[in-house]
Amino acid sequence: MNKNNFFLCQYCGDPVTNRVFQYFSPPKTEIQFKFIEKGKYSREIYRCSLCGHFYSKHSMDSNELYKGGYVDANYEDAEGIRKTYNRIMALDPGKSDNVGRVQCVLAFSDFYYKGLVPPVSPRYVLDVGSGLCVFLSRMKSFGWNCTALDPDLRAKNHAETIVGVPAVCCDFFDFKDNRKFDLITFNRVLEHVIDPVAMLKKAKDFLQADGLIYIEVPDGETAVSFGFDREEFTIDHPNIFSYLSLVFAIKKAGLKPLFIQRIQEPSTKFTLRAFCTVDV
C-alpha cells in the first residue's frame, strides 16, 4: 500500500500506510479455517504509526466465520467443546489464563463497588462471546448471576447444559433484552470484529448506571517484536490493539477507562485488560 492507497485509522484518524507483515500462507499458530481456499492465502498486517493499532487486511470471505466455522475449526463439535472446557477447568490455577482473569475481575469489582450503596447481591454479568464458558463457570461459583451470549448454537447449548448458565444464541449486534447488567465482559472478542467501537457502544444499552465493562484483547504492541507467527496476528483478528488504540476505542464509544493492564498470560499470550464505565 503506497501513499495514494491508504486508509484512515478507525481510532486516531491518521493515514495508515505502514505494512509490517505480509503472508502468502497461514502463520504457524493459525487454525485451518474452511473459508480459505487452498493455495489462495494472501494477507497483510498494517500498523498505524500514530496510535500503534494493527489492521489485518485480506480479501478472503470470512463473513460467516462465527456462525459455525469458528467452532468447527477450533473444537470440531459439541463434544470437542465439552472436552476443551473440562481440560481448561482442570488446569493448575497457576497455568490457567482464566483463573487469572476471574481473580482480576473479582478484585476490581470488589474495589469498585465498595462503598456504593445500596449493596446489590447477587450481581449480574453478561459475557459476550462466551465460547467455552470457562469464565462464567468460575464467576457463577463466586455467586454471580450469569448470562452467556454466543452466536454459535453449540456454544449456547454447552453453556446451558454443561455449565448450567442461561444463554442466548445471537450476534451481539442483534441482542435485545430489557435487563441491565452490573458487568458486561468482552473476553477476547473485540479483536474478532470489524467495528469494536460499535460493539462497545451497544453494550452501554445493557449496563447499569454504575456498571462496569471488562475488555480483554491481544496486545499487538508487545507481540510484534516476536514476529509474524505470533497468535495475536492470525486471520480471525481484523483488529489488534495497542495500549493507546484501546484507550481511543474506549473513549470513542463514550466510555471512560478506569484501569488498563498489560500482561503476559500463563499460556504465553500477550494481553491488554481494561475496565471502563459510562462517561457521563
DSSP 225-256: GG-TTSGGGSTT-SEEB-HHHHHHHHHHTTEE
CB of 2 to Zn ion, least distance (A): 18
Please say which residue, 11 or 23, places its beta carbon nearer to Zn ion: 11
181 vs 233, which CB is nearer to Zn ion? 233
Map grid coordinates 474506549 to a residue: 250
CB of 1 to Zn ion, least distance (A): 15
Closest contact distance (angstroms) between CB of 240 and Zn ion is 12
Q: Report the 10 Å Cβ neighbour count for 26.
A: 16
Q: Which of 240, 143, 255 is nearest to 193 (CA)?
A: 240
The interface region with Zn ion, picked from 42-50, 159-167, 207-215, 259-267 by CB under 5 A, is 42-50
Report 164-183 residues binding Zn ion (CB under 5 A). none
Take residue 196 and report the three cell numbers written for it.
469494536
Angle between helices 134-141 and 97-113 (to 10 degrees): 50
Q: Counting contacts by CB under 5 A, is residue 11 touching Zn ion?
A: yes
- CB of 164: closest distance to Zn ion in angstroms? 42
- Per 3-state DSSP, the chain is made up of helix, strand and coil in percentages (nearest 5) of 35, 25, 40
Q: Which of 252, 273, 258 is nearest to 199 (CA)?
A: 252
Among residues 56 and 187, whose Cβ is nearest to Zn ion?
Answer: 56
Closer residue to Zn ion in complex, CB, 244/263: 244
| Segment interacting with Zn ion, rule: CB under 5 A, options 51-59, 143-151, 158-166, 262-270 | 51-59
Interaxial angle between packed helices 78-89 and 134-141, expressed in degrees from 0 to 180 and rounded to the nearest 10: 50
The residue from 21, 45, 46, 48 that contacts Zn ion (CB under 5 A) is 48
Any contact of residue 51 with Zn ion (CB under 5 A)?
yes
Determine, following the binding rule CB under 5 A, whether residue 12 of this chain makes contact with Zn ion. Answer: yes
- Interface contacts to Zn ion, rule CB under 5 A: 9, 11-12, 14, 48, 50-51, 53
